[in-house]
Amino acid sequence: MSKVDLSVQVGPLKFRNPIMLASGTVGYGNEIAEFTDLNKIGGIVTKSLSLKPRKGNPPQRIVETPSGMLNAIGLANVGVEQFLKEKIPFLKKYDVPLICNIAASTVEEYVECTRILTQEDSITAFEINVSCPNVKEGGLQFGNDVAAVAKITEKVKSVSTKPIIIKLSPNVSYISGFAKAVKESGGDAVSAINTLVGTSFNIFTKKPKIHNVNGGLSGPAIKPVALAKVLEIRKEVDIPIIGIGGIMDWKDVIEFMIVGASAIQLGTLNFINPSAAGQILTELENYCNNFGITKLSDVTGSYII
Amino acid sequence: MFILNAPVEKSIELENKIYLLQVRCPEITSDVRPGQFLNVRVSESMYPLLRRPFSVCDVDDEHLYLMFNILGEGTKILARKHKDETIDIIGPLGNGFNLEGEFDTAVIVAGGLGAAPFPFFTRMIKDHKKILTFIGGRSHKDIITYGMQNISIATEDGSLGLKGNVIHLLQQNLEQLKSNRIKIFSCGPTGMLRALKDFTIKNNFDCEVSTECAMACGFGICQGCPIESTEHPDKYHLVCKDGPVFNVKDVLL
Ligand SMILES: Cc1cc2nc3c(=O)[nH]c(=O)nc-3n(C[C@H](O)[C@H](O)[C@H](O)COP(=O)(O)OP(=O)(O)OC[C@H]3O[C@@H](n4cnc5c(N)ncnc54)[C@H](O)[C@@H]3O)c2cc1C
Ligand SMILES: Cc1cc2nc3c(=O)[nH]c(=O)nc-3n(C[C@H](O)[C@H](O)[C@H](O)COP(=O)(O)O)c2cc1C
Ligand code: FES
């Protein structure tokens, strides 16, 4: 069997393969490392970090929906300082690109987090979360405002030489307008998509099932939306795209690449099958061999309409 | 921690809608402790999507036993599993009961399906400690005694044992409890655990409780299962990783 080249390029970033693990679905790597060899995957994106630790929302934080789930974790995280002290040493043991996801309530806080973290050599790039639907301040307010996204991109870019990826919200009419703002403000790539706003009620008590009332919808239920958003960006803006949303197997990875993703992230799947990343890599290799594809990245943007 | 496909060997209906599932899983049986749980994928399809957590009800050399009642789609599918089908299991997960310590009598307090972890618990402790078991439920149909010893029962409708709840039952046996060096181990609905917490604090009894919460991953990556901590009010414990068993004093129920 011939050797397939699985490596991909996302702007200035080169990955050995397109499979990354999505923010909020792998913690800080230690638990998932029991199931997936982090030395084999393309990259790992940490849980959103904020300047100070965040306790997150009260329970109930998650509920299952048809072929998906709603979560309102509320960006529970250890904060930048503790991350550098307690979490980085574990991640450093692995040969895997580390992408730090940052969330904040103000533009200044995004900048401050990036400024602190950028000094840590083992961090490869930043993914800026402007799109979390589960926090009161910041979150979607930024993700819904093109000018705010442009400003955050520009300011964060000015304090770091590392690549900046902006993670976009699907809860907007035209996501390509946001991708364009990222590109024009110097952003290196976009991740699409974060979760969709959703809710779920108990029909007997008439109360919301999630304490926060709304949650972020993820899982296979959102895949068609995510594919459409990636395709829209690909058609309108020349910027590298990391595809996210409901990826459950190798076929979904290929589908995301066809509509324009250079790499992808696995999210909810990690909860259901924490060994999935490794299995998908083997299957991608088989697919390439079976279809005579020598370079997987050739699939990106190969759609025929 | 393992992720594996375990063949189902038997599924029996113990009571109306309460099932005992026997799966072959020698990898986990040697490792698991009472109070730990498994996160089970009931179907390969996208619905239900998430795994379902179940306590390890009992083990023998090669088998794990799960006890569950039919609540929704997931448990309905699980109840229909027959010999030679497999279920996908992640486990053993969480922290189990602490069986060591300065007590000579283990007092089990179970509410309804909270009985699930105690057959294993009873098997592990019965040769070393005396056991007293108190079981409560709404009616006689909710009382599961499978695999347990020295049982006293309370039902809210009075259809079996004492008419009242399990705390009334403990209150009634207070003298006996106080005359032993006891430790209480409990699992059941949160309302019951809350009342038990008051009872144990008032009477100065050591008590561990197995808590429940909606879960996605079961092993600490989703942050979906918070429980309020008494010692660290600025952060939550995770039921799946820091629990599901906690000393009752460490959590706000
Ligand atoms: C650590 C742990 C150990 C558990 N051990 C056992 C066990 O040994 N035996 C057993 O029968 N069950 C146990 N449970 C509960 C079990 O996980 C749920 O009964 C199961 O997930 C229901 O799945 P379902 O698809 O049938 O129901 P769903 O369709 O998910 O839900 C049906 C109904 O049940 C309610 N429900 C769902 N999960 C729970 C829950 N955790 N507690 C209370 N109500 C719930 C839902 O709100 C809904 O109203 C345990 C839960 C945890 C967290
Ligand atoms: C429980 C949970 C927590 C999440 N936390 C974060 C987060 O902290 N930061 C972030 O940028 N995205 C977060 N996400 C969004 C995911 O990274 C991903 O964009 C989304 O779940 C869609 O992908 P999926 O359908 O494959 O899960 C979270 C998702 C879930 C399910
Ligand atoms: S269930 Fe995912 S962290 Fe506890």
Q: Which residues of A touch B216 (CB under 8 A)?
A: 62, 69, 71, 268, 271
Tokens 């972890």 found at:
B117
Q: Who contacts A291 (Cβ-Cβ below 8 Å, separation ≥6)?
A: none
Of all residues in chain B, the percent with pLDDT exceeding 90 is 96
Size of interface A-B (CB pairs under 8 A): 96
pTM for the full predicted model: 0.96
Query: Ligand 3: which atom is nearest the Cα of residue B238?
Result: 4
Q: What is the DSSP letter of B233?
A: T
Alpha helix positions (H), chain B: 26-29, 73-79, 118-125, 166-172, 174-178, 190-203
Report the alpha-carbon distance of residue A11 to residue B244 in Å, rounded: 44
Ligand 1 atom index nearest CA of A64 = 30
Q: Does ligand 3 come within 6 angstroms of the Cβ of B216?
A: yes
Specify the pLDDT at position A143: 80
Confidence of residue A197 (pLDDT cuts 50, 70, 90): very high
Q: What confidence tier does A97 reach under pLDDT thresholds 50, 70, 90?
A: very high
Q: What kind and span of H or E run contains B249?
A: none
A142 has a pLDDT exceeding 90: no
- Active-site annotation holder among A100, A113, A132, A288: A132
Pairwise CA distance, residues B166 & B189, whole Å: 12
Residue A154 zone, left/alpha/beta (φ > 0; ψ -120 to 50; rest): alpha
Low-confidence ranges of chain B (pLDDT < 50): none
Does B247 contact chain A (CB < 8 Å)? no
pLDDT higher than threshold 90 for residue A136: no
Query: What pLDDT sits at residue A138?
Result: 54
Determine contact, residues A181/A153, Cβ cutoff 8 Å: yes
Q: Is A100 a catalytic residue?
A: no
Give the nearest chain A residue to B93 (CA atoms): A31
B196: CB partners within 8 A, 6+ apart: B109, B166, B167, B170, B184, B186, B207, B209, B248
Mean of pLDDT values over A231-244: 98
Mutate to test the interface with B, among A61, A203, A249 (most CBs of B within 10 A): A61
Count of H helices and E strands in chain B?
A: 6, 16
Six token digits for residue A303 = 């759609």
Is B252 part of the contact surface with chain A (CB cutoff 8 Å)?
Answer: no
Cβ atoms < 10 Å from Cβ of A218 = 31
SS (H, E, C) chain A: CCCCECCEEECCEEECCCEEECCCCCCCCCCHHHCCCCCCCCEEECCCECCCCECCCCCCCEEEECCEEEECCCCCECHHHHHHHHHHHHHHCCCCCEEEEECCCCHHHHHHHHHHHCCCCCEEEEEEECCCCCCCCCCHHHHCCHHHHHHHHHHHHHCCCCCEEEECCCCCCCHHHHHHHHHHCCCCEEEECCCEEEECECCCCCCECCCCCEEEEECHHHHHHHHHHHHHHHHHCCCCEEEECCCCCHHHHHHHHHCCCCEEEECCHHHHCCCHHHHHHHHHHHHHHHCCCCEHHHHCCCCCC
ipTM of the complex, rounded to two decimals:
0.95
- Cα B112 to ligand 1 centroid, rounded to whole Å: 13
Q: Is B245 on the interface with A (CB under 8 A)?
A: no
Q: What is the pLDDT of residue B89?
A: 97
Contact A46, A98 (CB under 8 A): yes
Nearest CA to B67 out of B77, B79, B84 is that of B79
Alpha helices in B65-189 (DSSP H): 73-79, 118-125, 166-172, 174-178
Rounded distance between C-alpha atoms, residue A263 and residue A234, angstroms: 13
pLDDT given for residue B15 in this prediction:
85
Checking if the pLDDT of A134 tops 70, the result is no
Taking only Cα atoms into account, the Rg of chain B, rounded to an integer number of angstroms, comes to 18
User: pLDDT (tens digit, 9 = 90+) per residue, A27-59?
Assistant: 999 999 999 999 999 999 999 999 999 999 999
Count of beta carbons in the 10 Å neighbourhood of residue B45: 10
Look at residues A106, A94, A129, A125 and name the one whose alpha carbon lies nearest to residue A263.
A125
For residue A239 the two structure tokens come to 């910027």
Q: Is B39 helix (H, G, I), strand (E, B) or coil?
A: strand
Q: Indicate which atom in ligand 1 lies nearest the CA of residue B54.
A: 5
In one letter, which amino acid is A62? I
Over its C-alpha atoms, chain A yields an Rg (Å, rounded) of 18
**Ligand 3 proximity of B238 Cβ (cutoff 6 Å):** yes
Categorize the per-residue pLDDT at A133 as very low, low, confident or very high, splitting at 50, 70 and 90.
low
Handedness of CA A204, A205, A211, A215 (dihedral sign): positive
pLDDT at B205: 96
Comparing CA positions, the residue from A88, A204, A72, A188 lying closest to residue A134 is: A72
